[in-house]
Amino acid sequence: MKSFPMFIRTTGRRVLIVGGGEQAAQKARLILKTDAHLVLVSPELDAELSTLVASGRAEQIAGPLTSALFEGAAMTFVATGCPGLDAAVHALVTAARCPVNVVDQPDLCDLTTPSIVDRDPVVVAIGTEGTAPVLGRQIKTEIEQMLIPNLGGLAALAGRLRSAVAARVPREGRREFWRWVFADAPRDSWTRGAERDAARLIKDAVAAGGAPATTTIGSIAYVGAGPGARDLLTLRAVQRLQEADVVFYDRLVEPEVLELARRDADRVFVGKVVGAHAWPQERIDAAVVAEARKGRRVVRLKSGDPGIFGRLDEELRAAAVAGIATEIVPGVTAACAAAARLDRPLTKRGETDTVVLATARSQKDGSIPDLERHVQPGTTLAIYMGASAVGEISERLLSANVPPDTPVDIVADASKSGEVRVTTTVSGMARTMSASGIGGCAVIFVTLPRSLRGRMGHPETRVPGRAVGRVAGS
């Protein structure tokens, strides 16, 4: 290492920034994360810095500049924007033996500013010794994904309770106590956003004189894997994958998404395929619950959003009967991803003010649900799982007085490498689907702008939809 990483105390100390423009403001934003006394050294300040002075968060010194000004300061940033002036100020700061950072002049820097992941009081600093700041920012992004946003709150609570732990928990049990706090039930509750429950668990354990016996009940997180691309997962989804002991997934989850899980996590393929489930839903429910009962952190990874056409209600009921804590982590649903790939919104002011997410696969007898009730001018109709029934969907829409030339967009495997997008009409959608070879995971968009009101007639005059394609005897 050419630079030794350490943290510099700022409480009760001055940090000076020489300069009054945008470069100085960037450094000020960084130092405002600390409790340092911020001193802005410049005769003129931009609007942002002037506001800091007016609010009392910073002090302004207009001049003159002397070496004495920098004596005893924790550090100084020089950011005048003028290389010659920066060098002159650097000489004054160095004479005062104050650590200095001169913006964009690494040869004049005693200090370099790292990329920071802030979970105060937990702080992670990433430095590249000035060689590759872009790489430092990329590493920061990866660590941001790893650490839950509220992690600092748990660390702060632990800090407030340290004296109580020292008084009530025997010395030989303290290491295990803190391991339990940061790796067991309290951490799990805090991660789910149940901070009060976590605090109660910790305080009860302090009162009892130590960590409780290890629980045998784990937890289940129903995580939305999004439409396919791994960079469309939420930060929380990535965090749950990295915390999981076991991950249950099906064929719609991309391999690159699974790579985000812990390397030592068990991966269980439940084999769900549209129209043919290698694992019946009841078996999936039982397997997920059984793993949680072992005290494991379970992720049930579902394509798109777990709460949209994912039979989540059945899995939640199974977990509730077993008394297992659950969490739902939303994901980008297929309709949103597909619309984005079409470079179009799902709603348009004055034309479509309603979005309907419908499925062609929700009936136990295999029939298509009643799509006709959603056919209203001003609606964008997004139909999931309709590839195999596109002919019947077309007939139903036509029977509901939807004009044959109404535009239809079909997106298959949105955001995946094999994505296919086609544009057609209500009358031609079956032919187009067949010609394009689309099958399986596709979203069918039927756009019914308000301008169709005259052509579609009033709802009470529409021809009722025909119940076609039903299983015999239904």
348 & 269 share domain: no
Does residue 180 share a domain with residue 280?
Answer: no
Is the CB of residue 297 less than 8 Å from the CB of residue 184?
A: no
- Here the tokens at position 461 are 């005059």
Q: Quote the CA–CA distance of 39 and 17 in Å, as a whole number.
A: 6
Phi, psi (5° rounding) for residue 195?
Answer: -60, -40
Q: DSSP letter string over 256-320?
A: HHHTTS-TTSEEEE--EETTEESS-HHHHHHHHHHHHHTT-EEEEEESB-TTSSS-HHHHHHHHH
Mark whether 421 and 362 lie in a shared domain: yes
Q: Are 199 and 273 part of one and the same domain?
A: no
Q: What whole-number distance in Å separates Cα of residue 28 and Cα of residue 58?
A: 9
Task: Give the per-residue pLDDT at 214.
Answer: 62
Residue type, position 158, single letter: A
**Is the same domain home to 362 and 382?**
yes
The pair of three-digit structure tokens given for residue 390, joined into one six-digit string: 């596109």
Q: Is 430 helix (H, G, I), strand (E, B) or coil?
A: helix
pLDDT value, residue 361: 75
Same-domain status, 314 and 359: no
Token pair belonging to 288? 């997920």
- Are 439 and 351 part of one and the same domain? yes
Report which of 364, 222, 412 is spatially closest to residue 307, judged by C-alpha positions: 222
Tell whether 228 and 315 lie within a shared domain: yes
Give the domain CATH number at 254: 3.40.1010.10
The answer to the question of residue 1 being in a domain is no
Q: How many domains does the chain have?
A: 4
Is residue 144 in some structural domain? no
SS3 12: coil
Amino acid identity, position 104: D
Q: Are residues 282 and 310 in the same domain?
A: yes
Domain with 37 in it: 14-113
Catalytic residues: 250, 272
Query: Does 2 map to a domain?
Result: no
Q: 247 exposed, middle or buried (CB, 10 Å; 0-12, 13-18, 19+)?
A: buried
Q: How many other C-beta atoms are found inside a 10 Å radius of the C-beta of residue 24?
A: 25
| CATH code (residue 101) | 3.40.50.720
Same domain, 444 and 357: yes
In-domain check, residue 255: yes
Tokens of 38: 């911020």
Whether residue 421 lies inside any domain: the answer is yes
How far separated are the first and last CA of the chain, in Å rounded?
A: 75
What Å distances lie between residue 339 and 311, 343, 446, CA to CA? 23, 6, 12
348: region left, alpha or beta (phi > 0 left; psi from -120 to 50 alpha): beta
DSSP type of residue 230:
G
Question: Is 467 within a domain?
Answer: no
Judge whether 133 lies within some domain. Answer: no
> Tens place of pLDDT for every residue, the chain, 474 residues?
888 889 999 999 999 999 999 999 999 999 999 999 999 999 999 999 999 999 999 999 997 899 999 999 999 999 999 999 999 999 999 999 999 999 989 889 999 888 899 999 999 999 988 788 899 999 998 898 888 899 999 999 999 999 999 999 999 999 889 989 998 889 988 988 899 999 999 999 999 999 987 655 789 999 999 999 999 999 889 989 988 999 999 888 999 999 999 888 999 999 755 554 568 889 999 999 999 999 888 999 999 999 999 899 999 999 999 999 899 999 999 999 999 999 999 999 999 999 999 998 765 666 777 888 899 999 999 999 888 889 999 999 999 999 999 999 999 999 988 899 999 999 999 999 889 888 768 999 999 999 888 777 644 444 444 333 333 332
180 assigned to some structural domain: yes
Q: What is the pLDDT of residue 455?
A: 79
Q: What share of the chain is helix, strand, coil (3-state, %, to 5)?
A: 40, 20, 40
Q: Are residues 349 and 303 in the same domain?
A: no
Helix axes 47-54, 22-31, angle to 10 degrees: 40
Q: What is the largest CA-CA distance in the chain?
A: 95
Domain's final residue, options 313, 332, 351 = 332
Do 388 and 453 reside in the same domain of the chain? Answer: yes
CA atoms within a 13 Å half-sphere pointing along the CA-CB vector of 146? 10
pTM above 0.85, yes or no: no
